[in-house]
Amino acid sequence: MEGLAALGSAFAGLASFGTLFNVAWATLLGIFVGSLPGLTATMGVALLTTLTYTLDRDTAILVLICMYVGAIYGGSRSAILLNIPGTPASAATSLDGYPLAQQGRAGYAMALATSGSVLGTFVGIILLVLLAPLLARAALSFGSFEFFWLAVFGIVISGQLTAETSPLKGYIAGLLGLMVAMIGSEGIHAHVRFNFDIQDLNGGIGLIPAMVGAFGFAEVLTVMWRAKAKLVAKRKDEDRVLPRLSDLWRYKFTIGRSGVIGTMIGIIPGVGEDIGAWASYAAARRRSRERKMFGKGSTEGLTAAETGNSAVVPGALIPALTLAVPGSAPAAVLIAALFIHGIRPGPMIMVEMPDFIYSVAIMLTFAMLAIGVFGLTLTRLFILILRVPREILMPIVFTLCVIGPYALTQRLFDIWVMVAFGFLGFVLRQMKYPMAPLVLGIILGSLLDKNLRRGLMLSDGDLTPFFTRPISAVFVVLIVATIAMSIPSVRAFVSRLFGGAGDRS
């Protein structure tokens, strides 16, 4: 009841013509960014952050959330029409979306993707409102020992789940991020580390220039490196651009399940939308009666993937708001934006700003409604957007990558940081190192460092409390199990053990 009242007052505070205008342009921009291959949600949020610092707090967070929701949804457009996911979140969407487009049903595939995204976001918002206050309250009992292990767990699980080939590369990416975070003044004694006598490094590497480089410039390079994509031109006359309610009703369990899976994946630190989509897709395939159609143009598979990736967005905001630990790469940038606008995410958020979580839920609801309206009415426009030549778009994107980070601090040094991270991001991506753990490492470095040393000071150098306090012990078990499961022989042993148990029963 208290939550409903808070939601009502958040809605009353935000409902205005100005809000609707901001929701409209920011969501459209988000869909535009997401639908163009090479422009991702993280890049969109990072670039837009540099444009929001003159806006008031609520407007800034609103437009960033609309960009995030819009971009994750927009990725489905190019996944369906080009077989290239606009964002990594839509990789699972292309499995069934592109075959549907080849059958001349691109319009209907996009309509289903829109419905799935709207419903997935809706499920995520409900869970955000229910779970975030509980998690914030639980996090109040976290001390230095627990926060230390939370940061380690975030890096390990993110490295494990986001690595394409080997979890080791995920762990290395996380370590690189943590190493980057070691540069500059540390948070306990204000001692400057690894600045190599460069004054600009005293404050550390800025997250926004690093993210704009790793996700913006690196993607410009990747887009120009790749071959040009070809748009599917085939279209049947009976193709429709509105979803059939009967189809949505038929997939109600798939939608509900994918929404919950997506949100839960979102809560896991640094994992993100792509894993949410794959997990929802796999679960839908396992339980579907039309399993054989998956990968060949299954409408259920498409709905599951899109519901799953969109539900991750509210899910990723749950730990971001309550623990200051991002659930995805765009959420990491959003945390930086929250700090820029004077909001301190973390366990104290329910004490200092009890209404903020509900305001975020209302902002997500606005964004959700906007993707529904734009997605179902502007199908033709988004097809036109995909025809913008990359040779014209990419220099504009790079110009924004240059001026965006500069605008925040007015230092040329941040442009150099952006360029360096662009090259690093491109090379790491080519070598199949995931970017999410790197981002998470940069965000969590300070948390890890401060809580390790603070914990050791509290215990007078004794390591025992790190392992014996109940929540710490749970984290330790989870971390050990996660790392152990990344070793092929251990994984084979465990699957043999459980497979064997299954056989006996």
Partner 1 sequence: MSLDSATADRITAVVLFALGLAMLVGGYTMDRLEIRQIHPASIPGLLPMILGATMMLCATLLFVGAARRARAEAIEPISNDGGESWGRMAATAGLSALYALVLVGWLPFFFATALYVGLFILIFTWPGSGTRAGKVKVVVIALVFALVTAAAISALFRYGFLVRLP
Give the angle subtended at the CA of 174 by the CAs of 173 and 180, to the nearest 5°: 90
Which range in 83-91, 249-257, 295-303, 405-413 contacts partner 1 by CB under 8 A? 405-413
Distance (Å, whole) CA 28 – CA 378: 10
30 contact partners, CB below 8 Å, separation of at least 6 = 41, 44, 66, 67, 68, 69, 70, 71, 73, 74, 367
Coil, strand or helix: which one is 99? helix
**Nearest CA among 101, 116, 497, 427 for reference residue 301:** 116
Does residue 423 bind partner 1 (CB under 8 A)? yes
3-state SS track over 174-193: HHHHHHHHCCEECCCCCCEE
Tokens of 313: 């967005």
Distance (Å, whole) CA 416 – CA 438: 19
Question: Which one-letter DSSP state was computed for residue 194?
Answer: S
Residue closer to partner 1 (CB basis): 348 or 385: 385
For residue 346, the minimal CB distance to partner 1 (Å) is 20
Give the per-residue contact string, 348-367, with partner 1 (x = CB under 8 A; - = no): --------------------
Residue closer to partner 1 (CB basis): 72 or 452: 452
Q: Contact with partner 1 (CB under 8 A): which of 138, 241, 373, 419?
A: 419
Q: Which residues within the stretch 221-250 sit at the binding site for partner 1 (CB under 8 A)?
A: 221, 224-228
Does residue 291 bind partner 1 (CB under 8 A)? no
Which range in 121-129, 361-369, 377-385, 448-456 contacts partner 1 by CB under 8 A? 448-456
CA 224 to chain centre: 24
Q: Which residues within the stretch 21-60 sit at the binding site for partner 1 (CB under 8 A)?
A: 51, 53-54
Which range in 8-16, 304-312, 408-416, 492-500 contacts partner 1 by CB under 8 A? 408-416
DSSP letters for 303-342: HHHHHHHHHHHHHHHHHHHHTS--SSHHHHHHHHHHHHTT
Q: Contact with partner 1 (CB under 8 A): which of 126, 138, 182, 340?
A: 182
Does residue 286 bind partner 1 (CB under 8 A)? no
For residue 262, the minimal CB distance to partner 1 (Å) is 29
Does residue 394 bind partner 1 (CB under 8 A)? yes
Sign of the torsion angle spanned by Cα atoms 137, 143, 145, 149? positive
For residue 439, the minimal CB distance to partner 1 (Å) is 17
CB 41 within 8 A of CB 331: no
CB 37 within 8 A of CB 393: no
Which range in 69-77, 160-168, 326-334, 468-476 contacts partner 1 by CB under 8 A? 160-168
Which range in 167-175, 272-280, 304-312, 363-371 contacts partner 1 by CB under 8 A? 167-175
Residue closer to partner 1 (CB basis): 312 or 439: 439
Residue closer to partner 1 (CB basis): 251 or 398: 398
CB 87 within 8 A of CB 40: yes
Distance (Å, whole) CA 413 – CA 179: 19
Size of the site for partner 1 (CB under 8 A): 61
DSSP letters for 45-85: HHHHHTT-TTS-HHHHHHHHHHHHHHHHHHHHHHHHHTSS-
Q: Contact with partner 1 (CB under 8 A): which of 16, 141, 165, 495?
A: 165
Find where tokens 């952050």 sit.
49
Binding site for partner 1 (CB under 8 A): 51, 53-54, 165-166, 168-169, 171-172, 175, 178-179, 182, 186, 188-189, 191, 193-194, 217, 220-221, 224-228, 389, 391-392, 394-396, 398-400, 402-403, 406-407, 410, 412, 415-416, 418-419, 422-423, 427, 430-432, 448-449, 452-454, 456-457, 460-461
